[in-house]
Amino acid sequence: MARVVHYRQCRLVKPIPTGEKVLVSWIPEPFAEVGRVVKLKDDDGNWEDGWVVRHAGSNRLPAKDVPDFHELSKAHLRATGDAETA
């Protein structure tokens, strides 16, 4: 039987010359440790290093239940007709 991977919602930061980028993302639980440096995949499929876990939420979800916000956003645009103007 396959092992269930759980995810936790985390606040991630990445130092940049003008300050820092901030991102909230669901990441696999083994990587959701405050202070841990992680790599994230960008929209082009490239790995971007240097993201630091600033906060890890206490809620955990199995991978199959993690919301796909990209798909949810596209579905909303299609449903409201905003996709034609975006």
Q: Would you list the domain boundaries of the chain?
A: 6-84
> Which residue, among 75, 83, 67, 70, has the nearest Cα to 9 in the 3D structure?
67
* Identity of residue 65: D
pTM (2 decimals)?
0.73
> Which residue, among 33, 86, 85, has the nearest Cα to 57 in the 3D structure?
33
Tens of pLDDT, residues 40-73: 988 888 999 999 999 999 988 887 877 776 666 7
Tokens linked to 83 = 């996709």
Mean predicted lDDT score pLDDT of the chain: 86
- The answer on pLDDT for 84 being more than 70 is no
CA dist 10 and 30 (Å) reads 12
- Average pLDDT value for residue range 12-18: 95
Tens of pLDDT, residues 29-39: 999 999 999 99
Helix H or strand E segment including 50:
strand 47-62
Q: What is the pLDDT of residue 86?
A: 47
